[in-house]
Chain A
Amino acid sequence: MLSGCGINEVVDRDEDVKAAWAEVQNQYQRRADLVPNLVSVVKGAANFEQQTLTAVTEARASVGSMKVDASILDDPNRFRQFEQAQQQLSSALSRLLVVSENYPDLKASAAFRDLMVQLEGTENRIAVARQRFNLAVAEYNKVVQRFPTMIGAMIRGKNVRPTFEAHTPGAERAPEVKF
């Protein structure tokens, strides 16, 4: 029977992966959308370290310039580039959070506090979305690699896909650095 060869199953798993990818993108987009607000609030603080702000703005720009349609799923190189760009934004943001420790007035402001809550929430969603994406890809890769479902996958022209680097839970969140 054809359905035993995974010809349908590979489609189902493919859709799961695409849905999980859409969620990952949404959450990264959500974070990118927060950045301009964050930058403008931080700029308001007297003498805020310019270098840190520039790094965030640049990382935000490079994330924004990437094309991330679903075809990236089948292109490990672009996938890694995407992840690196997002990682850069993560680092720039956590650097900004560390530096902001030196500006008590900024930290005490309601606008900054609310932005921190939003940023935390977004990082948490990103972590969840990445994990679910990896699970979906793992299921998909099984279908693509195992017999007999690999037959259906071959007929459909589906190949193994990359996952995000494994992170321990919580590693996505901004590290707490104390001076």
Chain B
Amino acid sequence: MTSRAAVLALWLASGSALALEVPAVTRRVNDQAGVLSSTDQARLEQRLADYERQTGHQFAVLIIPSLQGDPLEDYALRAAEKWRLGDKRRDDGLLVLVSVQDRKARIEVGYGLEGAIPDVLAGRVIREAFAPHFASGNYARGLETGLELLMRAARGENVGPPSRGPVGTGPPPFMFILVLLLFLNAFFGWLPRLLRMPFIGFCGGALGWFFWGILGAVGLGLLGFMVGFVRLSSGMGFGHHHHHHGWRSSGWRSSGGGFSGGGGRFGGGGASGGW
């Protein structure tokens, strides 16, 4: 599994050993630099929350005092990956990162919004909405103007229905269930004893084919014949469990008062700029 830990490990190994840590996400508008008044913060927060309710798109803002030497793009991607903004199926998250002392900003766009917010548009928002206001110290105004443009651009984006429940938990294929039922029936139940051996062998073969192709078919088929033979000769059963770990559920989207990302992915799309 390409785990998040592995991603982190790579970052650590690749020279940014003292990489600036991304704060935990608790709200949509995170001002670590203290440049927003509490009313501005609350207003922006409310605006983004309303927008998320209407469209499902998850936008968030992170303002930090300084990058402390980290490359802007690396930090922005790490933040976006850590917060997992956006729906996990639609990947419709967006992060605005502002580093006050570096006088740099980046708009990190989730995979699902790359069509609605191409890099050129993100670049224009930074140049024309953020930069002029940020330069005069009015961060709230700049963010508000820029975010409105971005929200409008993404509003029309139809990126499929939101995910319900965990991803990747589609029902096991029909054939598999059928064969499994037959197998269990043959194993525990009603078939005449003489039919059991070939039948279990056949089902074992089918299961093996299902999982492992020809090789598995032969292997499990033989195993099935053996099991059938043992059953035939002794009449005794024994448990034989197969754990298939393909259908994992990994859904987490916390409810309650706090804010958390929905599992959206990012691929480095967006734009950077300064003022």
Contacts and interface: CB of A to CB of B under 8 A. Distances in A.
A135 B7 contact: yes
Interface stretch (B30-38, B53-61, B208-216, B251-259): B208-216
Given A128-B77, A131-B10, A168-B14, A118 B212 contact: no
Residue from A124, A134, A138, A139 whose CB has the most chain B CB atoms within 10 Å = A124
A61 interface: no
A36 B215 CA distance: 50
A56 interface: no
A177 interface: no
A168 to B, nearest CB: 4
Contact of A120 (B6, B11, B211, B271): B271
B236 interface: no
A137 B16 CA distance: 21
A3 B268 CA distance: 36
A75 to B, nearest CB: 23
Residue from A23, A132, A135, A169 whose CB has the most chain B CB atoms within 10 Å = A169
A117 B14 contact: no
Given A124-B268, A128-B77, A136 B2 contact: yes
A149 to B, nearest CB: 13
A148 to B, nearest CB: 16
A135 B267 contact: no
Nearest to A155: B215
B239 interface: no
Nearest to A140: B2
11 contacts: A2-B216, A23-B267, A114-B120, A118-B120, A121-B268, A121-B271, A135-B6, A155-B215, A167-B14, A169-B74, A170-B73
Contacts of B99: none
Residue from A122, A125, A155, A166 whose CB has the most chain B CB atoms within 10 Å = A125
Interface string B101-130: 000000000000000001110110000000
Query: What class of interface size applies to chain A in its complex with B?
Result: 20 to 34
Contacts of A124: 73, 268-270
Nearest to A20: B2
A7 interface: yes
6 A-B pairs with least C-beta separation: A121-B119, A128-B268, A117-B123, A125-B268, A170-B71, A124-B268
Interface residues of B, number: 30
A128 B73 CA distance: 10
Interface in B53-108: 71, 73-74, 77
A118 B2 contact: no
A128 B114 CA distance: 15
B1 interface: yes
Interface in A104-122: 113-114, 117-118, 120-122
A132 B2 contact: yes
A169 B14 contact: yes
A129 interface: yes
Contacts of A113: 123
Nearest to A131: B10
Contact of A16 (B2, B219, B267): B2
B212 A7 contact: yes
A127 interface: yes
Nearest to A118: B119
B15 interface: yes
A125 B272 CA distance: 13
B106 to A, nearest CB: 10
A127 B268 contact: yes
Given A120-B271, A121-B271, A114 B123 contact: yes
B114 to A, nearest CB: 9
Contacts of B1: 139
B212 A8 contact: yes
